[in-house]
Structure 1
């Protein structure tokens, strides 16, 4: 009898030990990137260069400009201080410095960003445009190429994203909601409910850009917009249906290519609310047409993380894992946006999935 009891205790001990090992493995796997990172960026963008990662984003204490962080492993991050100042010799902005992205071309580093243009003869509340600055190092200092934005489409724009292919350069951006009311079934529903008289929308466009980034070629092409009909992609209308605000966003686009398919990730809903989320669309051409995915959204709030959005994509140091870099909020961080990194992948059937949001407590 004693031998049987001892054997039972031994089996129980081994089972508990095995569970603890598995639990530890799960925790270790989830904590690979220590979500959230101690970086209070919105709109994070990661550049990989020379064995190092450089992260740029909105906020983090920058004064009329942008901060940067560096890392060798995506886990420990070092502040590089402010790398772009809006009052540089060619500075054209007056505020609202948002969403920087940095690309290396011919040994130089080019930062695309959004800002409020000081040329504002009609005193528009939102006079956002896109500019480009250059530096010799990823840590700056970045100086504007010109004393003006890249171009003026006649409406406010933000969230630049750039794609290079076959000697061509493509610029993607979001037209702001400002003064852009759009008729839709959602707008009609909101008006009938007495919620809002009109619903303003932001749309994602693409346009070819000159190789020296001094301007654009041809007319912008509309690529993505919120759904017109109720019951279609309803997750993109939560800012309205949850009565947050009378706006629907399609913004924060990020394009990449897998085999022969272009994937454009984008964010919808109010960036300042809990329903901010990420979806994607696919195309065979860099300027579309793009078709939204049936498994959207691929990143959205859960019981621990909210406001998940405006992502970029990078790869793990060993090159094996595709990673989604985005901002979000937790109960502990309050309204401050912090950076999260989660694995993502393209399945055999072409579907994109993000394994997140995850959090380490």
Structure 2
């Protein structure tokens, strides 16, 4: 693993400023690898990059190391967001969001490495999400038939209602193909809050952070995030939240249903799941979501129920 321009240090979880955290637990070296959105747009003469921290206990971390530094001419020039790492066929694949240059949209591309901490190099030729769409937060899922998928958000800045969609990946994870499936139309959710950004004079319904999980009863569960209206969820905060969609057939094709109860309504979100080395399932999220600058990784144990998850 390679050090970057920031000095390597030993830090506690609460000292790491990071959005969109993702933990990859590597059994071979009994090490947790923590990725996230940290140095998304670069500064001065420093280019954007993805960083990684390592830990043996989820409390004390060493880093940041460089997980991915873009090669000269790489299509993604900013918005280095939401990296997720999956082991597939003995190699490690990072699904991450990038914004292209002038005239290019944001999308999710796939990187690859021979070690979970990197260094990662480009694998797909560009984004594997549709190039004429504004997309982000792609995640990986392989179904029971062996079909590989990317599930991603079609941005509210282009699609007012806010969508989460899925498309098949080629087996080598270099491209996507076939019909695009729709999983979420955010405007239809009873709990969701209208979202706007005065900097671009637009509003709509935001979708973030799909992540797939197979429930004990065979249903396919998807976690995702947006903003809830006040006094709706368990804490009534009306902040960043985690919602549940479910395919009762267990198939990506659905039909998809949407839980009215939120999994988390605590100004925390952009969540994924990982098993610790005691085989306990944890939700990995950032908290708080606002005010910006205070976001930290947060790991919360969850109980696996017959048809989903319950926060302990």
Residue 281 of structure 1: how far off its partner (Å): 1.2
Q: Deviations over 1:98-140 (max 9, x none)?
A: 111111122221111111123x4xx36xx20111111111121
Measured after TM superposition, the shift of residue 35 of structure 1 is 9.6
Q: Does 1:104 align with 2:82?
A: no
Q: Mind listing any 5+ residue stretches in structure 2 that lack a counterpart?
A: 1-10, 229-236
Q: TM-score, normalised by structure 2?
A: 0.81
Q: Does 1:254 align with 2:211?
A: yes
Query: 1:329 Cα deviation (Å)?
Result: 1.9
Counterpart residue number, 2:14: 37
Query: Could you tell me how far 1:246 is from its partner in structure 2?
Result: 2.4
1:268 to 226, 238, 241: 226
Aligned residue for 1:37, secondary structure, equals helix
1:150 corresponds to 2:128: yes
Aligned CA distance change for structure 1 residues 340 and 274 (closer, same or farther; 3 Å): farther
Aligned to 1:175: 154
Larger relative strand fraction: 2
1:342 equivalent to 2:307? Answer no
Partner of 2:167: 207
TM-score, scaled to structure 1: 0.70
Task: Name the SS for the 2:193 alignment partner.
Answer: helix
SS at match of 2:260: coil
Q: 1:233 to 1:36 in 2, by over 3 A?
A: farther
CA contact 1:263–1:281 (8 Å) conserved in 2: yes
User: Which position in structure 1 is the counterpart of 2:258?
Assistant: 292
**Contact 1:101–1:112 (Cα < 8 Å) also in 2:** yes
Q: CA deviation at 1:97?
A: 0.7
Distance change in 2, residues 1:215/1:60 (3 Å): closer
- Find 2:185's aligned residue among 220, 225, 242: 225
- Equivalent residues of 1:132, 1:213 under 8 A apart: yes
Q: Secondary structure at the match of 1:92?
A: coil
1:38, 1:339 within 8 Å by CA — same for their partners in 2?
A: no
Contact 1:35 1:339 in 2 (8 A): no
List runs of 5+ in structure 1 lacking aligned partners: 1-33, 181-199, 356-361
Structure 1 CA distance for aligned equivalents of residues 271 and 111 of structure 2: 21
Q: CA RMSD in A?
A: 2.7
> Does 1:277 find its partner at 2:241?
yes
The answer (yes or no) to whether the contact 1:239–1:247 under 8 Å persists in 2 is yes
Count how many residue pairs are aligned between Structure 1 and Structure 2: 279
Aligned twin of 2:193: 237
